[in-house]
Amino acid sequence: MNSSADYTKTSRMRTAQSRRSALRWLVHVTLISSAIVSLVLEPVLTLHVAFGLVFVLFVGFHLAQRRRISQRLAVRLLKVQKLLGPAGRLALADGFLFIITVAMLFSGFWDLWAPHHTKIRWHAITGVVLTIYLVVHTARRWRRLRFSQIR
Ligand code: HEM
Ligand code: HEM
């Protein structure tokens, strides 16, 4: 009786885990495709902006799915003496990724709404840096892309 209840509980936990894993996969696929489509469609500004905003929205979901890790990394950023360790370097890298995403978004809206471009093309610069950084971030986590498990 007890072992059958245990079995049901384990199988329910497994189903929930594989559902979460599938949701993370869906978010990863949307992140990659919205970034690519936004870049490819850059000459069609409305579509570039629309897919760019989908990308930013899904970055929000991506971070929400990693709430605990993101909070731990943010706290680590405040402990300067620990920044040189592996976890500190991860915090720095992810912190930079976050800042460059926000900078790309702000400069994108600036270019969209201001009467003329900034002299330094901030959106072009942050857009290109973000793209390179995303390739590195994704390539280093390639094996976790499909079956991401967060404990
Ligand atoms: C093309 C877009 C992106 C893809 C495909 C992607 C993919 C991934 C993958 C596969 C992981 C590992 C998940 C795991 O441990 O199970 C991860 C982790 C993470 N990502 Fe992303 N990501 C993207 C963009 C971003 C952006 C823009 C940010 C920040 C604003 C970000 C922040 C993080 C953080 C904080 C983690 C957890 C710690 C780490 O492994 O670095 N990601 N991402
Ligand atoms: C995946 C995210 C995005 C990337 C990687 C990206 C990158 C770029 C790049 C490389 C350009 C060409 C710049 C040039 O020719 O000088 C561009 C143009 C532009 N983007 Fe984005 N962008 C993204 C999202 C957005 C968003 C969300 C907005 C609006 C809020 C936006 C607004 C614009 C505007 C108005 C232009 C044309 C004017 C300009 O050159 O700055 N972009 N983008």
Residue with tokens 């500190």: 88
Q: How far is the CA of 69 from the centre of ligand 2 (A)?
A: 29
Buried b (16+ CB within 10 A) or exposed e, 55-78: bbebbeeeeebbeeebeebeebee
pLDDT over 80 at 110, yes or no: yes
Query: What per-residue confidence (pLDDT) applies to 74?
Result: 93
CA distance 117 to 102: 18
Q: Which class for 51: exposed (0-12), middle (13-18), buried (19 or more C-beta within 10 A)?
A: buried
Ligand 1 closest atom vs CA 73: 35
| Domain spans, the chain | 2-144
pTM: 0.91
The predicted-structure confidence for 119-149, as pLDDT tens digits, reads as follows 899 999 999 999 999 999 999 999 888 887 6
Would you say 38 and 31 are in contact if contact means Cβ atoms under 8 Å apart?
no
Residue with tokens 């850059």: 42
CA distance 111 to 5: 60
Ligand 2 closest atom vs CA 112: 35
Query: What per-residue confidence (pLDDT) applies to 106?
Result: 96
pLDDT over 60 at 69, yes or no: yes
